[in-house]
Amino acid sequence: MNLDEYIKVKYKNKNDWFVELVSEPTQQMRVQDIHSKKEYLNGTHAILNSPAYKYNGKTYNPRKIVVSYAKTLLNFQKSFLLSKPVVYTGKEEVVKAINEINRKGKMDRINVKILHNLLSYGEAYEYLYIQDGKIKSRIIDTEEGYPIYDHNNELLAFVQSYVNDGISYYVVYEKDVVRSYSNEGTELYLVGEYSNLSGLPIIYKTDNELSHTKGKSELDDWIFILDEIENVLSKFTDTVYKNMNPIPVVSGQELKGNGIATNIVGQGVQLDDGSEFKFASIQLDVEAFNALYDKLIQTLFAISSTPAVAMNKAEIANVSEVSIRILFSLANVKAKINENYLRDGFEERLNKYRILLGYLGKNFTDNEFETLDIQFSYDVPSNDTEVINNLKTLYEMKSMSLESVLEKSPYINDSVQELERIHKSTVENNSNVVENGNGTAGNNE
C-alpha cells in the first residue's frame, strides 16, 4: 500500500487528511502522554497535588519535596554512552567525508538530543537536508511528530504539526516532496512545496511489547518509584515537624502554683516528692525510614541499570580494572541496548548521507559505504595505568598493531591523526639522522 491508497481508504481522499490524522483520539493520547513527561522533567510531579489536611484542629499544607532523580538518571545514561564521540571506520575516503559532515553539522550534539528524546519519550525523529552546500540535521520535536505506517508497519509518510501564536502549521513529508500548510487567516492553505532529497525522516524508537511502531519511555518504569520516594520524604518531614511540639505531662502533686504555664521558658516547676514532669512525644522510627528509603533507591538504580557507585551511593576500596567492570556491568548492558536503538537510526542516516553527497558531487558506491562501521565507546571509569601496561605487553608480543594500540589508548581520541603525527615525526627524525651522518662524514674527510 502506498500513501495515495492509504489516504483513499482511510480519509476518503480529503485534501486536509493530515488535519484529521492529527485530531484522532489515539494520536492525541500519545501526544498528551509525551507532554506529561515533559512537564514531569520540568518539575511537575504528583507530590505537588497533595491535598491539605487538618491537624489539632488547624488546616496544614503538607510538605511537598520534589526529587529530580529522573533527570540525573537520564543524564547518566546519555553521558555513559555518548560522552565520547561516535567513531566511524571503513574506507578512508568515505570516513573522511562522513567525519566532515558530522563536524560541520555538529552531529555529536545532535546525537545527545536524539538519545534524550529516545529515552524520555520512547521515540525520536530526525530529518536530513542540504543548506548552503552543507548536509544538516533537524530534530523534530517528538510531541509534534506523527509517523504514518501501513498494515505491514512500513513508514508511508510523516506529518509534523505545531501551533504558534494561535496559528496551526502542518508539514507533510512524503518520499519525494515536502509540503507546508498553514491556517493563518480563515482557511487552510498550501504555503510551499519542496523537493525531498533525503526521503522520509529517520525514526528512532525503543522496544515496546505492545506496539511495533511506537516506543516506550524509560520514565514509565521509574515514575512510580520516584513518586513513592517523594511521598516518603515529604511525609517523614511532616512527622518531624509535628513532633517538635510535644505535650507537657506532670505525674504527682505540684507544690504550688496554678498549673503549668503555657510558656515555661525561663520558669521553674516545683513538684512534690515522687512526682515527675516530662514532655510526651511520638518516637520517630528513623531506622525503618532509612531501610524503606534505601530499598526504594536500590530498586530505582536496579531498574534503571545505574551503578550505585556512579551516584555516590557506594564506596569501593579496590579500583582494579576487573572490579570496575563488575560494578558497571548493568550499565554496560543498558548502554548496549541503547546503542542498538541508535545504531538502527545511524545506519539509515549513513544511507541518506550517501544520497545527499551525490547531490553535492561526491559519489560513492554501495560497496564503499558497506565498509563503514559504527563504534561506540562507553564512559566506563578505568585504571589507565593498568590499561596502558596491557596494551604495551600486547604490542611487544606482536599480538596487536600500533593502530589498535592507539584506538584503545585512554589518552588518544583520534587514532588516525595520531598515526599521521607519528609517521611525520619518524620521517623527520630519519631525515635528521641522514643529514647529521653526511655532515659528520664531510668533517672527517
Q: Considering the domain boundaries, does residue 187 fall inside one?
A: no
Within a 13 Å sphere around the CA of 39, how many CA atoms are in the beta-carbon half? 10
Query: What is the reported pLDDT for 436?
Result: 67
pLDDT of amino acid 127: 97
Task: Extract the residue ranges of the chain whose pLDDT is less than 50.
Answer: 440-445
**136-179 residue pLDDT tens:** 999 999 999 999 999 889 999 999 999 998 899 999 999 999 99
Task: Give dist(CA 227, CA 47) in Å, integer.
Answer: 7
396: in domain: yes
Residue 420 lies in a domain: yes
Instruction: Report the domain count for the chain.
Output: 1
Q: Is residue 338 part of a domain?
A: no
What pLDDT score does 311 carry?
76
Whole-number pLDDT of residue 441: 44
387 in any annotated domain: yes
Q: Please check whether residue 1 lies inside any domain of the structure.
A: no
Is 129 in contact with 201 (CB distance < 8 Å)? no
Whether 114 is in a domain gets the answer no
Domain-embedded: residue 436? yes
Q: What is the pTM of this model?
A: 0.82
Q: Residues near 309 by Cβ (< 8 Å), separated by ≥ 6?
A: 315, 316, 327
DSSP 8-state code for residue 129: E
Give me the half-sphere count of Cα atoms (radius 13 Å) on the Cβ side of residue 3: 18
Helix 107-121 vs helix 25-41: angle between axes, to the nearest 10 degrees? Answer: 110
Task: Output the pLDDT for position 266.
Answer: 55
Domain around 407: 383-445
Query: Where on the phi/psi map is residue 408: left (φ > 0), alpha (ψ -120 to 50), or beta?
Result: alpha
Q: Which residues contact 266 (CB under 8 A, 6 or more apart)?
A: none
